[in-house]
Every structure is written in C-alpha cells, then in structure tokens.
Amino acid sequence: MAFCHKGTKTPRHQDTKSLSSLGFVLDVFEPLWQKNKNFQYFAPTTVDLKPPIAMSPIPKNRIESIDVLRGIVMIIMALDHTREYFHSGAFTADPLDLTTTTPMLYFTRWITHFCAPIFVFLSGTSIYLQSLRKTPQELRAFLLKRGLWLIAIEWVVMSFALTFNPFYNVIVFQVIWCIGITMVVMSLLLRLPFKVILALGLVIVLGHNLLDIPESAEGFKANLVWMFFHRAGVFPLGGGYSLFILYPFLPWMGLMFLGYCTGVYFSPRYSSAARSSILTRLGLATVLVFVALRLLNLYGNPADWAPQKNATLTVLSFLNLNKYPPSLLYMCMTIGPALLILAGLERVNNGVTNILRTYGRTAFFYYLIHFYLIHLISTICFFARGHSLGEAIDFATKNQFPFLFVMPGEGVNLTLTYLIWVLIVAGLYPLCKWYDRYKTGHPEKWWLSYL
C-alpha cells in the first residue's frame, strides 16, 4: 500500500508483436496442460520420476514452506505501513521518485513490492490445497462465502483501520477486496477444467497491459467499472463520499489463478525434490522474462526505464515498476524470486522458520491487527505532539485528506521508523502464537476458517 505515489507516466502504444514472449511463457507452463490418467488434476510429464511416486498424505513441510514465505511477506509488509504512518516524508514525497529519494528510502518502499503479489499468489495456491480435502461443492460454497466476507471486511473493518473515520467518507479497495472478489469468481470458475483456469490466468497476466493503450489516449477518463478492473484512483460518489480504488482486481485475479494452478506441485503427486526442481525452473524462467522485456522496453510496464546520471539511479529506474495496477513486469519481478524462495525453503526447518511460520499461519489475523495497532500508536503520537481532535478533523476536511490523526510532514526519521517497525512486529508475535494455538486446538469452530 502506498498512498503517495508518483503519477503513472503516459505509456507509449505497445507493439503487439512483443507478445511473442507469450510462447516462451506457455512453454514454461506447458507441463500443467498434460493430464495424467491416474490423477484428477493436470500434472507435468516432463519431470522424469523413477520409480513412480506413491500417493501419500501431503507432508507437513509442503504447506509449511508456504507458511514460512507468507510469514516473511507479513513482516516486510508491516514495514511499508509503519513508514506511511510514522515517517516524516510519507505523505510529502514519493519514495520511488528518483529526483527526491535516497537509496535507503527507495529500498524501504521497493522491498515491500513483493508483499501483495506473493500474498495474492499464495492465496490461490491455498485454494488448490483446499481442493485436495474438500469436495468441489464444499469448496465452491466456501469460496463464495469467504469471498463475500473478505469484501465486507475490506469495506467495513479495513476502511476504518486505515482512516479512523467513523463516518466512512472514504471506502478503501485494497488487496483483501481483490482476494475476495477473485474467490467469488473462482466459486463459479472451478466448474471449468483446470487448463481453462490456467489459460485465463496466463491471458490476463500476460495481456492486461494492452489496456494501457486506450488508457494512454488523450482525453481518456475511466468510468467506475473500468476503475474496478484496471485503473487505480479515487471515484467521487457525491456528498463528501468517495471510493479509493487502490487495487483494480483484474491483474490480481489473473495472478491468483496462476497461484491456484501452481498449487498442483504441492499435491501428493510430487516429491520434495521434484517440486523444488520445478519451482526453481519456473522461478528462473519468470525472472528471465522480466529481465529480457525490461531491458528491451518493449512491453509489460506503462513507463520505460532510462539511464540516469549514475549507476545507482539507473538500477533504481530499471526496478521502478507499476503496482497500481500491477504490470506484467512487476508480477514477474516479484513472483519469480518468490518461486525460488519456495524451492529453497523445502528442506529448511529451524528456529527462525518456526517464528516465520507462526506469522504465516495467522496471516489474515495479523493483517487486521497490525493496521489497527500501527494507526493507534500513530494517533497517540499525534496527540502527544500537541494536536487536538478538532485539528485532525479540520485538516482532513479542508485538504480532503482521508486519514485522521496523520499530519503530512510530521513524524520520525527513517532509522526510528525501522525501530518502530521491529517493535510492532515483535509485539504481535505472542498474539499470533496464541491465536495459532487456539485455531489449531479448536477445529470444530467453523468460523475460525474465515479468519
């Protein structure tokens, strides 16, 4: 999440011939299209496993590797949100603006780019894993109910957490809404063959940047439907109310479809070694697609990179990709390394991964709580600096600023921001550990599956 980001540069008309990379990526995913007669999902035949792997229960470390990666993402995510509510420059300058940023500030923002795409991708993977233990009817019903629940959580619980505005003048559409609406869509699409979902995911992820062409036309103005699909921004409703659509859902939905399809490699069909090998190859191929397309400035991101006055700024320009909505190259840059990390986590189990796993197993719970904690502490600091409730309301009203108890230009330096982040994450660990134990110890409480 970043509320102060530089305006998207007007993209040039993309050469559709650059989509020849589609064939390369399809070759990478081609094994998923091969159906094994002894397995109800589509599995690769290019991995030669001798002797044949016996069907067995899913080993714990298969799911735990996902939880560890998700835990890493949760911790890094809190850094971005801590920066936004505590750093003095959070609402006065874009940390990715090469003309004003510093390498450390840029990195503080850039590293958190990995969070949302990995979170969404792994949500799709988790749905596939649920399909191994639920009937199709049970899974579709669960996705429909949970999806609607997540959308309601985004509008009611998360909008208030972000703004602390009890009148809900601004309704926020972030990553939880994207996951929720995709779950609703998947509750319908899971009636389709696996390869159709894979094809849809590839078409959306690889092709959605073609929508940059009409968006770049002079005089283009997105309506509400278009904004929901592909254009981030604020849509006024009148009467002082508005929708803050930060996460248009179409690209994220495509990414979640691909996460679902990747879940096949975590099924009992694959040994740890085979899965690690496949994830490594997929990860390297994805990174290669990113580097090749980015170097050529052909397709996949609205704004090109360009040589800067020094090597450091040139690298930062190369890595500066569009998140709202996520471009093809943005997703390749983040998901490629994520697949490599997943492969590397296959056989890692120590005290550090145990801690990370706790955060990962309680990701949604952590997500909700950490926003309230960060904003609450920020509010305490706001009053400690001598401000009043009237000042907060007056500033937000006059400047149409959606976040109460946050004053742009006030806050702490980056070093103290990091310290606050560490204290917040560490402070949440006992609560996450308690919730993990409670949820694990009470499988009969159905409502826990919605948290």
What digits encode the pLDDT tens for the residues 166-177? 999 999 999 999
Say if residues 370 and 363 touch (Cβ distance below 8 Å). no
Establish if 167 belongs to a structural domain: yes
Establish if 7 belongs to a structural domain: no
Q: What total of structural domains would you count in the chain?
A: 1
Rounded Cα gap, residues 339 and 270, in angstroms: 16
> What pLDDT, on a 0 to 100 scale, did the predictor assign at position 191?
95
> What pLDDT, on a 0 to 100 scale, did the predictor assign at position 41?
34
Establish if 9 belongs to a structural domain: no
- Spell out the per-residue pLDDT of the chain, length 451, in tens: 444 443 334 343 333 333 333 333 334 344 443 433 333 333 333 333 333 333 344 444 447 999 999 999 999 999 999 999 999 999 999 999 999 999 999 999 999 999 999 999 999 999 999 999 999 999 999 999 999 999 999 999 999 999 999 999 999 999 999 999 999 999 999 999 999 999 999 999 999 999 999 999 999 999 999 999 999 999 999 999 999 999 999 999 999 999 999 999 999 999 999 999 999 999 999 999 999 999 999 999 999 999 999 999 999 999 999 999 999 999 999 999 999 999 999 889 999 999 999 999 999 999 999 999 999 999 999 999 999 999 999 999 999 899 999 999 999 999 999 999 999 999 999 999 999 999 989 888 888 877 7
Establish if 6 belongs to a structural domain: no
pTM of the predicted protein model: 0.86
Instruction: Give the DSSP H/E element, type plus range, for residue 254.
Output: helix 249-262
AA identity, residue 156:
V
Domain containing 137 equals: 16-450
Torsion of CA 16, 18, 22, 27, to 10 degrees: 150
CB atoms within 10 A of CB 182: 28
In 3D, which of 246, 283, 279, 254 has the Cα closest to residue 265?
A: 279
In 3D, which of 174, 175, 163, 170 has the Cα closest to residue 375?
A: 163
- Output the 3-class SS for 311-360: HHHHHHHHHCCCCCCCCHHHHHHHHHHHHHHHHHCCCCCCHHHHHHHHHH
Instruction: Kindly report each contact of residues 240-245 with a partner whose C-beta sits within 8 Å and lies 24 or more positions away, as own/partner.
Output: 240/169, 241/168, 241/169, 241/170, 241/171, 242/169, 242/170, 242/171, 243/170, 243/171, 243/173, 244/170, 244/171, 244/172, 244/173, 244/402, 245/173
The angle subtended at Cα 446 by Cα 443 and Cα 449, nearest 5°, is: 85
DSSP-derived secondary structure letter, 87: B
DSSP-derived secondary structure letter, 42: B
Establish if 10 belongs to a structural domain: no
Rounded Cα gap, residues 32 and 243, in angstroms: 39
Contacts for 40 with CB less than 8 Å, ≥ 6 apart: none
Establish if 8 belongs to a structural domain: no
